[in-house]
């Protein structure tokens, strides 16, 4: 029986799309029960094109209410794993206490946590950055590292181009982690 996953995403959906393609082709033996977005983002259309049910749950003025709605919504889907792929919200400690959550991040954590990891790596003059898949805990990009892959920073690289290079690595890395989870139940 396939493990049930929920995807959380806020953007264009390149990572989510890769996971959906791998599940759709049978390469990943997982069931994507839903994709949840906090924004009316292109990822919702990507999910619809792949036949994945979508949930739009915008953050209103009451963040505590949204936190509880998120927990209730995900609990109702009964996932084995929640996969954050470009979800630009910090989830509550209660959320990570309730669910197993993993995240992709565009740096080699613990270096350059937060929303501007690629920009921060360039500003620091780093020669190498990369992608990390990690367990989500109550901190910001502080959870245990599951897997990492390096990306060399070319001289003169700009933020947009470097981020695209990292996304290519991120897509492969998240699929590898999910493959291991699907076949061995290990994160």
Which sequence positions are flagged as catalytic?
105
- How many alpha carbons lie under 13 Å from residue 49 in its C-beta half-sphere? 11
User: What is the b/e burial string over 111-145, where b = at least 16 CB atoms within 10 angstroms of the residue's CB?
Assistant: bbbeeebbebbbeeebeebbbbbbebeeeebebee
d(CA 77, CA 79): 6
d(CA 45, CA 2): 24
Record the tokens describing residue 153, joined without a space.
Answer: 């920073």
């Amino acid at each position: 029986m396939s493990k049930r996953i929920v995807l959380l995403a806020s953007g264009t959906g390149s990572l989510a799309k890769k996971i959906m393609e791998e599940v759709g082709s049978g390469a990943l033996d997982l069931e994507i029960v839903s994709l949840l977005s906090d924004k009316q983002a292109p990822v919702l259309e990507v999910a619809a094109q792949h036949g994945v049910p979508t949930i739009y749950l915008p953050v209103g003025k009451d963040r505590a209410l949204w936190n509880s709605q998120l927990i209730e919504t995900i609990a109702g889907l009964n996932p084995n794993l929640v996969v954050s792929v470009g979800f630009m919200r910090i989830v509550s400690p209660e959320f990570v206490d309730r669910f197993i959550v993993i995240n992709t991040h565009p740096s080699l954590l613990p270096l350059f946590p937060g929303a501007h990891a690629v920009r921060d790596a360039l500003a620091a003059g780093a020669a190498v950055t990369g992608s990390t898949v990690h367990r989500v805990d109550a901190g910001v990009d502080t959870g245990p590292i599951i897997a990492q892959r390096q990306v060399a920073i070319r001289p003169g690289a700009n933020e947009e181009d470097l981020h695209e290079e990292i996304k290519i690595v991120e897509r492969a890395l998240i699929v590898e982690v999910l493959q291991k989870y699907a076949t061995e139940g290990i994160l």
